[in-house]
Chain A
Amino acid sequence: MQARNLELSLLVLGTVITVVAYGLLSVADGAEVRAQIVIFFVIILLLLLGAHVVVRNTAPNADGLLLPLAALLNGLGYVMIARIDIPKETDLAVSQSAWTFIGVGAFSATLLLIPDLKKFANYRYSLGLLGVGLLMTPLIPGLGVNINGAQIWLRAGPFSIQPGEFAKIVLAAFLAGYLVEKRELLALSNRRLGPLNFPDLKHFGPLLLALVIALLVMVTQRDLGSSLLFFTLFLVMIYIATGRTAYVATGLSLFMVGSFVSWRLFSHVQTRVTQWFSPFDIGPGEQIAEASFALADGGITGRGLGEGTPQRIPFAETDMIFAAVGEELGLLGATVVLAAFMFFVSSGFRVAATVNAPFEKLLAAGLTALIGFQAFIIIGGVLRVLPLTGVTLPYMSYGGSSLISNYIILALLIRISDSTPVADKQPALVDSTS
C-alpha cells in the first residue's frame, strides 16, 4: 500500500502545482480566469482521484511514481497550451482537456479490461501485422490526409487521429513477443562475418522484414521522427533480449548508411539537416531559431507565465512546447520537465527489471524506451542536439492520439508493475542471460 499512498500524495501535489501555475497565468492575463480556478482544481483532482482509485483496485502493487509523473507533465502541458491560446485566440486547451479526460478514461479502461498481459504474447504475429497495417492506413486515398508535409493522419468528419501513435504500442508488443520466443536463437551465432557473429537469417528474417516495412512506410509518409523512434525501439529491444552488442553495432551502421542515403535522395531530409546545422541562416520565425531565441530569453528563471511571447514559436503547442516552457519557466522549469522524464524512465526500467516474466519484462522496457526516446528526440530537436523531427513531447504536447496512446502505455506499465508479486520484488537472483 505504500506505493499507492505515495502515488496519492504525489498526485495531489502535482494537481496543486498545475493549479498554481494556472493561477499565475490568470494573474498575468487579468482577472477573467480567476473564478474558474476552484472548478479547475476540483475537476482535475476528481479525475486523478478516479484514476488512482482504479489503480488501487486493479493494480494495487504497481509503481507509485509513474501516474503522478504523467499527470504532472500533462498538467504543465495543459497550462502552457492555455497560455498560448490567449494571444493566438484558439481553444486548444479546451480540446486538450477533453483529450485528457479520454486519455485517463483509456488508462482506466486498459487497466480494467486487461488483467493479464501474458496472453498477448501468443498473438505476436497478428500484432505485427496489425501494427504495420495501422501504420499504412494514412496512405489510403480519401481517408488519409497530408498535414504539414506528413501523411500520417486519418480524418473522418471533424475527427483526425494518428494511427501511428497506436501502431507503436502494437509493434512494441509484437517485438516483445517475437524476441522472447527467438531470443536464445538470436543470441547464438552461427555465421561469422569478419569479427562479428550472426544468427541464421531465417530467425532474423521476419523481424527485419517488419522493420523494413515499418521504416519504409514512415519514410514515404515523411514521418522521420517516428521512423527514428521505431528504429531505436527495435535496436533497444533486440539488445535487451539478446545482450549482443553486435546487433547494436550493425544497427547503428545501417542507420548511418540509411541516413546518408535518405539525405541524398530526399529533399525533405536535406531541408531538415540544413535547418539543423544553420538554423539562424534561414530567417525570422523559423522554428528552431525562434525556439532558441525563446529559450535564451527565458534565462534561468524564465520570463514568467504569461510574460513571454511563446506564441511566436511555430508549433508552440505541439512539437515545440518544450521551448515555450523554457521561455516562460526558464532553465528551472525546463529542468523540472527533464527530471520528470528521467524519473519516468528510471521507474519504467525498474519495473522492467523487477518483473520476472520475460514477455512483460521486454514489453515494459520497450514501452519505457518509447516514451523516453521520443522525449529525447523531440527535445533534442528543439535544442539542436538532433535535427528537428515531428514527434510530440509525451503527455505535454497538444494532440489527442498522442495523449491517449501515452496513457495506454502508462496503463500497460502499471499493469506490468503490478504483476510482480509483493514477495518477489527483488530482481531474479539468477539471470538466464548475461
Chain B
Amino acid sequence: MNASLRHVMVVLLGCFVLLFVQLNRIQVLQADELAANGFNTRQARRDFGLPRATILSSDGIVIAMSEPTGAAEGFQNRRLYPFADLYAHSVGYVSFGRNSDGVELTYSEEILGRTAPRLTELADLIDQTPDPGTVVLTLDHGLQQTAKEALGDRTGSVVAMDPQTGAILALYSFPSFDPNPLADTNIGSANAAFSELLEADGNPLRARAYRDIKFPGSTFKVITAAAGLEHNLVTIEEPVFPETDSYTPPLTTAAIRNFDGGPCGGDLAQLLVRSCNTAFAELAAETLGPEIMVNQAEAAGFNNVPPFDLPGSVASVFPALDTFGAQLQEPNEIRPAGLYENTPKLAQASIGQNDVAATPLQMALMIAGVANDGVIPIPHVLAEVRDVEGDVIDTFDVGDGWRQSMEPENAANLAAALIEADEVGGAASVDGLEIGVKTGTAQLGTDPPRTHAWIVGFAGRPGEDPQIAVAVLVEGQEGSADQTGGGVAGPIARDLFIEFFDSAEG
C-alpha cells in the first residue's frame, strides 16, 4: 500500500502547489487589474477617509477643509465646505462612490499630499500616509461673494479673471448647490442628497459658467470687429456705415434689424458703442466672408476646449466653414466676401445668433484678450500648492498665454472703442476707473420673447493696464425693451469692479 500512499501524497501536495500558483496569480499578477475592478471599493474607501489639503482663497479664506471624524473604523476624516454653495462649481466636492468634481478632482493628487516630497522625517518611513498641505486658489473671496450677491436668484453665471495671467478671480453660477451633504461619510445620506440634486429644478449641479453654451448675442460683435481689423478690411475709422434700420442679406428676405428697431450706423468704434446689428451683419456678409469669420472666432478660442484647470469645460461653438455652403460667387469689388449658399447664416452668426453659442468663460477669455494686447491667457483657479510646512512646492505656470487672438494694435483700438462705449452707455461705469464693455442681448426666439442678458468688459485705473476682465450672463430674461444686457448684467459687472478695486486699495 505504501506505493499507492506515495502516489496519493504526491497528488495532494501537487494540489497545494496548484493553490500556491493561483495565489501568486491573484496576489501578484492580477493585483492591479483586481484593484481597478469597478466593484472593488477598497482603495476608494481608503482614499475617501484620508485627510485632504485645506483649500484657501487668494485672500486666505478657508473654503474647504478636512475634519477628523473620530471614528475608530471606517472613514477617519470628512470634507467640509464652509461656504456651501458659493464655491460648489469651482472647488467641487468629493463624494464616496462617484467621481469628484472641480478642484477636488483636478488637483486630487496635490490635495492628498501625494505630490509633496516624501520622507521629510524618519517617521515617514513608518507612517506612509502623506501629510497634505494647503492648496491656494486664485479666487478672491470678497469678489466671489459680490458675484453671488449681485446675481441673486437669477439663473446665470459670473466669471472674473486677471486678463494678463488668466487667474480666475471669481467663478459663480446660479443655481448652485451645497456640496457638504455629498461629502458625508454616511454613504446612504450622501447618495440621497445626490439623487435629490439630480432631480432638482434648474439643474444646480451644472457648472454653467464653463459647461453650458448659450447664444452670446451682441458680445460677439467684438470678434466680428476684430476679424475686420485683423485682415485690414476695416479700420476703426473707415468705412463709415450708413444709418439704416435694417439689412437684408443676399439670398434671403429675412431682414436683420437693430435692437430698438431704429437706424444705426457709423464707423467701427461707433458701431460698437451703439451695437448696430445691421452694420455688423453687412460687414460680415459682404466684406468678411465665412473663412475670415471662422478663423477669427477660432483665434478667440471658439471650437476649442479652453485649457481650463477645472474638469469638464466645453468648447464654445462657431459653425464650421462647410456649414456656410458652397461658394456661389467669387470675391469681387462689390462683395469682397464672395457669395455663399448660406451667407444669411453668416450674417446672423456675426451678431452672435444662429448656431453660435459660448460659455461665459469663453467670452471672458475673449475680452481678456482685448484687454491684454490680443493675448488670451490660460484660465486657471490654482495659484500655488504648499506642503505641510508652508513651503511652496508648485505654482501654476501661466506660460505665454493660450493664444494670440489679434495684433496688439487692433486690441488696443478695440479696447479704446469699448471704453468709449461704457462712457457713453454707462452700463458699468465707475468713477476713477477706466472701463470698457460690450453688452449683449441674445434673442432666444421664443414667444413671449426672452433674451440672454450679457456683458463682457474689463477695468483698470486710468493709465494702467486693465487688471480685471469679466463676463456676466443672466439667462432667459423676459424680453422687453428695458431688459438689455446693459440693464441687467451691467450692474453686476459694476459691483465686481467696485469690489475689486476697493479691496485692492483697502
Residues of A within 8 A of B (CB): 30, 86-87, 236, 239-243, 280, 283-284, 286, 289, 292-300, 308-309, 312, 326, 330-331, 334-335, 338, 341-342, 345-346, 349, 352-353, 358, 361-362, 365, 369, 372-373, 376, 379-380, 383-385, 427-428, 431-434
Cα–Cα distance between A242 and B18 once the two chains are bound (Å): 27
Cα–Cα distance between A309 and B73 once the two chains are bound (Å): 9
Interface class of chain B by DSSP? helix
Cα–Cα distance between A373 and B18 once the two chains are bound (Å): 13
Q: Is the CB of A240 within 8 A of B26?
A: no
Q: Is the CB of B2 within 8 A of A299?
A: no
Q: Quick one: which of B1-41 are within 8 Å of A by CB?
A: 1-9, 12-13, 15-16, 18-20, 22-24, 26-28, 30-35, 37, 39-41
Question: Quick one: closest A residue to B15, CB to CB?
Answer: A376
Cα–Cα distance between A6 and B13 once the two chains are bound (Å): 24
Q: Quick one: which of B27-60 are within 8 Å of A by CB?
A: 27-28, 30-35, 37, 39-43, 45
Q: A299-B28, A341-B16, A376-B12 are in contact. Are A352 and B5 (CB under 8 A)?
A: yes
Cα–Cα distance between A107 and B245 once the two chains are bound (Å): 108
Asked if B123 CB lies within 8 Å of chain A CBs, one says no
Asked if B122 CB lies within 8 Å of chain A CBs, one says no
Q: A284-B39, A383-B23 are in contact. Are A365 and B16 (CB under 8 A)?
A: no
Q: Is the CB of A345 within 8 A of B31?
A: no
Query: Which one, B5, B31, B42, contacts A349 given CB within 8 A?
Result: B5
In the complex, what residues of A have CB within 8 A of residue B504's CB?
none
Cα–Cα distance between A174 and B506 once the two chains are bound (Å): 97
- Minimum CB–CB distance from A119 to chain B (whole Å) comes to 21
Q: Is the CB of B13 within 8 A of A284?
A: no
- Minimum CB–CB distance from B188 to chain A (whole Å) comes to 15
In the complex, what residues of A have CB within 8 A of residue B12's CB?
345, 369, 372-373, 376
Question: Quick one: closest A residue to B35, CB to CB?
Answer: A296
Question: Quick one: closest B residue to A361, CB to CB?
Answer: B1
In the complex, what residues of A have CB within 8 A of residue B8's CB?
236, 239-240, 349, 365, 369
- Minimum CB–CB distance from B156 to chain A (whole Å) comes to 41
In the complex, what residues of A have CB within 8 A of residue B32's CB?
296
* Most B C-beta atoms less than 10 A away, residue of A240, A280, A289, A428: A240
In the complex, what residues of A have CB within 8 A of residue B125's CB?
none
In the complex, what residues of B have CB within 8 A of residue A283's CB?
39
User: 13 more A-B contacts (CB under 8 A) besides A284-B41, A299-B28?
Assistant: A242-B4, A289-B37, A293-B35, A296-B30, A297-B42, A309-B42, A331-B24, A358-B1, A365-B1, A369-B12, A380-B18, A383-B23, A385-B19
Asked if B72 CB lies within 8 Å of chain A CBs, one says yes
Cα–Cα distance between A365 and B12 once the two chains are bound (Å): 12
Q: A293-B34, A342-B13 are in contact. Are A365 and B5 (CB under 8 A)?
A: yes
Provide 6 A-B residue pairs closer than 8 Å at the C-beta atoms, listed in order of the A residue: A241-B4, A284-B39, A295-B27, A296-B32, A372-B12, A431-B1
In the complex, what residues of B have CB within 8 A of residue A341's CB?
16
